[in-house]
Amino acid sequence: MAIALDQRLHLSQSIGMKILITGGAGFIGSAVVRHFSRGCGFGVINLDKLTYAGNLSSVEPVSNLPNYIFEHHDICDEAAVDRIFRAHAPDAVIHLAAESHVDRSIDGPAPFLETNVKGTFTLLECARSYWCGLPDSARDKFRFLHVSTDEVYGALGAEGQFTENSQYRPNSPYAASKAAADHFARAWYHTYGLPVIVTNCSNNYGPFQFPEKMIPTMILAGLEGRQLPVYGDGKNIRDWLHVEDHAAALYCILTKGVPGEVYNIGGEAERQNIEVVESICEVLDSLIPNGSSASYRDLIHFVSDRPGHDYRYSVSCDKLKNELGWTPSRSFEEGLIQTISWYLENRDWWRSIQKRYDGRRQGLG
Ligand code: NAD
Ligand code: DAU
């Protein structure tokens, strides 16, 4: 039975902290919503525009909880964001709403500027106005957690790792828009004292990821007997983190992190793309043999490279581990089996997306 809005607010107030989560219908945002509302019992206000990437079925497991509220708005809409702060009086913000796909940013960068830069600016300004009006004790405890990416640091060669002190060298329109947003977040801490923390995370994978990203692209293509499109020579390297470990890291940083600080988050699981695709084939071969003696590897197909394709990302998360005590909880191999099993068991989730997304190659400019 539906619970009235004022009753939900009352219940969530009695449960404890209330968090405004932007982008909570997306891949990582929905994991964060599930983690904070179900796992930690926090009050959660999910603010999401429901772009092509937003999907309320990803938060369906918690959407009837009394401590969960959905607000369907654009973070660029200042009046709406302002009203949401005043109506729900959050104790913290976790800002994930963004245009997130590098290939789309190559084909059409304008929405990246709009949401990632202007949207972040709007959210920071509304947060500042709300925060300035809080009593002293609430002002001290308030946090604005800005969720960003390791791509702001650019590309690495064969050696070295990104640290919190690495220079910003964004290469794609997506990375440039996230870098700009990070700078705004930093400036709002230094100029206005808003208690901002910035996180820069490596590649996430796991359940509920939109099938334009590499891992679900390969899983679904394999399941449907289509070619597995590996960009370039497949030797580019990414560092993979399970999305639920990212959500746990954000909880750790929100509750223990220091305002004004930056924390890098990584999975300590660097793999060449071709190694990841071969691992997916191996898991598919064991979970759902394709009927003949052929392996899913036979579907691997090298295609033209992404323009400006960053060669390697590798994140040192020593600061997060040493200062706040977080570590990833599972290996990439365990996480990959869990993820592939989830896509096998949740065909309705991705088939409904396929009705509006045809999986055509993006990012050739
Ligand atoms: P996603 O594309 O799956 O989800 C983005 C969500 O934001 C969607 O629900 C969408 O509807 C919402 N949204 C987009 N524009 C909006 C707007 N103007 N107003 C309100 N809502 C809007 O993205 P994701 O992969 O879950 O990434 C979430 C965040 O984490 C992003 O900020 C991204 O830059 C960052 N990040 C992602 C990864 C990764 O590997 N996916 C890694 C590091 C950091
Ligand atoms: O590093 C963090 C970033 O990781 C996040 O900030 C981004 O939001 C997220 O999308 C991701 O960016 P990538 O570009 O690394 O992810 P993607 O899944 O698009 O690609 C991963 C790698 O796989 C990359 O080297 C390109 C390659 N690739 C991708 C696709 C979609 C392929 O070889 N084939 C594909 O079909």
All structural domains of the chain, each given as residue ranges with its CATH number in brackets, are 7-205+239-270+311-331 (3.40.50.720)
What is the C-alpha separation between 346 and 194, in angstroms, rounded?
41
Quick one: pLDDT at residue 18? 97
> How far is residue 68 CA from its own chain's centroid?
19
Q: Are 98 and 73 in contact (CB under 8 A)?
A: no
Distance CA 93, CA 134 (A): 15
Is residue 85 pLDDT above 70, yes or no? yes
pLDDT in tens, 224-245: 999 999 999 999 999 999 999 9
For ligand 2, is residue 171 a contact (CB within 6 Å)?
Answer: no
Instruction: Give the distance (Å) from ligand 1 centre to CA of residue 204.
Output: 11
DSSP secondary structure letter of residue 4 = P
CA angle 127, 130, 135 (to 5 degrees): 125
In angstroms, what is the span from residue 217 Cα to ligand 1's centroid?
17
CA–centroid distance, residue 214 to ligand 2 (Å): 6
User: How do residues 247-268 score in pLDDT, each as one tens digit?
Assistant: 999 999 999 999 999 999 999 9
Ligand 2 center from residue 213 Cα (angstroms)? 6
Say what angle helices 332-345 and 214-223 make with each other, to 10 degrees: 50
From 51, 73, 238, the mutation candidate for ligand 1 (largest count of ligand atoms within 8 A of CB) is 51
Ligand in closest contact with the CA of 273? 2
Q: Which ligand is nearest to the CA of 312?
A: 2
Buried b (16+ CB within 10 A) or exposed e, 39-70: ebebbbbbbbbebebbbeebbeebeebbbbbb
CA distance linking residue 292 with residue 310, whole number of Å: 37
Per annotation, catalytic residue among 151, 239, 278, 310:
151
> 165 alpha carbon to ligand 1 midpoint, in Å?
24
State if pTM tops 0.85.
Answer: yes
Q: What is the mean pLDDT of residues 283-294?
A: 88
Which residue out of 71, 99, 103, 150 is catalytically annotated? 150
pLDDT tens digits for range 27-53: 999 999 999 999 788 999 999 999 999
> Burial level of 203, CB count in 10 A (0-12/13-18/19+)?
buried
Does 28 sit in the ligand 1 pocket, CB within 6 Å?
yes
What tens digit of pLDDT does each residue of 91-116 get? 999 999 999 999 999 999 999 999 99
| Helix or strand (DSSP H, E) at 28 | helix 27-34
pLDDT tens digits for range 275-284? 999 999 999 9
Residue 66: strand, helix, or coil: coil
Q: Is 357 noted as a catalytic residue in this protein?
A: no
Ligand 2: residue of 231, 277, 304, 332 to mutate (most ligand atoms within 8 A of CB) is: 231
Closest ligand to Cα 177 = 1
174 catalytic residue (yes or no): yes
Task: Report, as an integer, the average pLDDT of 11-20.
Answer: 67
pLDDT tens digits for range 194-203: 999 999 999 9
**CA 359 to each of CA 1, 231, 236, 272: distance values in angstroms, whole numbers, following the listed order:** 37, 15, 22, 23
Question: Does any ligand 1 atom lie closer than 6 A to the CB of residue 75?
Answer: yes
Band of pLDDT at residue 365, cut at 50, 70 and 90? confident
Active site residue 151: yes
Q: Is 53 in the pocket of ligand 2 (CB under 6 A)?
A: no
